[in-house]
Amino acid sequence: MQLVPTEQRPPIPAPDPLQVAQGRSLIASGLFPRIARIPGEHHNILEDPAAFVATLNETTDADIFTFVQPVTDPVPRHKYHLAWDELAVLHFESYDSWWKNQLNDKTRNMVRKAAKKGVAIRTCACNDDFIAGVKEIYDESPVRQGKPFKHYNKSLSALRESHLTFADRSEFIGAYHDERLIGFIKMIYNGGAATIMQIVSMIAHRDRAPTNALLAKAVEICAERNIHYILYGSWSRRSMGDFKRHHRFEKVRVPRFYVPLNRRGAIALKLGLHRNILAMVPERWLDWGANLRSQWYSRRLPARGN
């Protein structure tokens, strides 16, 4: 499978994760316990968590600080309270090995289908034209994957601001049909891994398989950069989980650590109050709730292609 040739790009320098993290404010959520984390934690991996934690009591009122290890290093390296994140990770040696040995025939044919139906895949700059195209994609429907789409009807200025985060380590890949943007990926590089921050395509062009072609291009670009891991959020079930499995993402357990910052945090950890309540709900109940939610929103906010 030959996609549009990738332009020559200078290598992206590896950031100083600790310096980047300390230069950003923390995100805190919850009431008890109040848990803080670094924005974009999978892109701002701490190389020296102990040194960073030592400064937190003076800069945050949170009860607990949480951080993760990179997907390239799943063996626990720290002595803090340990839990596990289940992430969707694609590991490949080269683009050819992924294409020939990891994909099944159906998925390869979907990527080929995009080219046959006139979809061109290329990297692009995050300029005004690109943001206008992103807005058109986002505003196609108020519902995606059975729930309200958080980017629906956002202003151009808000979209520009949100898509320029991590600008020094980001790359945008666009899917075009008749020079109209019909889908895109935003990837962020962090050392030996890349993270898919967003991948979305127009519902009206689903039969052209732009999302499959976009992911293939992402693998090609990462292989050229000598990057062999792509992170695509949490491990999923239902339709999104099927998409990840078909492209050979696997469930990888990555260490997450919780550090109490005060007595309240220590008590909360002992009581297990730091855990996500949804993780304790049986999967069949989650499926039932997701189906009910999808039916509800499909009636209230019907999806519309263009």
DSSP string, 61-84: --SEEEEE--TT--S----SEEEE
Are 65 and 142 in the same domain?
no
CA–CA separation, 235 vs 86, rounded Å?
Answer: 6
* Res. 287 pLDDT band, cuts 50 70 90: low
Q: Does residue 107 share a domain with residue 24?
A: no
Looking at the structure, tell me whether residues 271 and 157 fall in a common domain. no
42 plus 99 within the same structural domain: no
Tell me the pLDDT band of 245, cut-offs 50, 70 and 90.
very high
Sorting pLDDT into bands at 50, 70 and 90, what band is 182?
very high
Pair (127, 182) in one structural domain: yes
Q: What is the mean pLDDT of residues 31-41?
A: 89
Same domain, 97 and 78: no
- Residue 113 has a pLDDT of 97
For tokens 């943007």, what's the residue?
181
The total domain count for the chain is: 2
Average pLDDT on 280-303 reads 58
Range of the domain at 63: 17-84+254-289
How would residue 279 be classed by pLDDT, with cut points 50, 70 and 90?
low
DSSP H/E element including 221: helix 210-224
**pLDDT one-digit tens code per residue, 77-128:** 999 999 999 999 999 999 999 999 999 999 999 999 999 999 999 999 999 9
Of residues 283 and 226, more confidence is placed in: 226
Rounded to an integer, the average pLDDT of 223-232 is: 95
168 with 218, same domain? Answer: yes
pLDDT value of position 241:
82
Residue 78 to residue 121: CA distance in whole angstroms: 42
Residue-level pLDDT at 53: 87
Q: What is the mean pLDDT of residues 208-217?
A: 97
Residue 189 lies in a domain: yes
Token pair for 78: 């720290």
Strand 180-190 to 170-177 pairing: antiparallel
In DSSP notation, 256-299 reads EEEEE-SHHHHHHHHHTTTS-GGGGS-HHHHHHHHHHHHHHHHH
Same domain, 103 and 41: no
Are 209 and 115 a contacting pair, CB within 8 Å? no
| 160-184 average pLDDT score | 94
- Which CATH number do you get for residue 105? 3.40.630.30
Residue 10: pLDDT band (50, 70, 90) is very low
**Rounded CA separation 60/251 (Å):** 33
Q: Are residues 163 and 261 in the same domain?
A: no
| Same domain, yes or no: 121 and 63 | no
Average pLDDT along the chain: 85
199 compared with 17, residue with greater pLDDT: 199
Residues 50 and 72 in one domain: yes
Residues 219, 121 contacting (CB under 8 angstroms): no
pLDDT band, very low/low/confident/very high, at 187 (cuts 50, 70, 90): very high
Query: Residue 228 — φ and ψ, nearest 5°?
Result: -120, 10
- Looking at residues 122-142, what average pLDDT do you find? 95
The reported pLDDT for the residue numbered 45 is: 83
- Does residue 306 surpass a pLDDT of 60? no
pLDDT of res. 277: 67
Cα-based distances in Å from 222 to 198, 199, 225, 270: 16, 16, 5, 41
pLDDT band at 259 (very low <50, low <70, confident <90, very high): very high
Instruction: Give whichever of 27-41, 174-188, 264-278 has the largest mean pLDDT.
Output: 174-188
DSSP string, 89-130: EEE-S-HHHIIIIIS-HHHHHHHHHHHHTTEEEEEE--SHHH
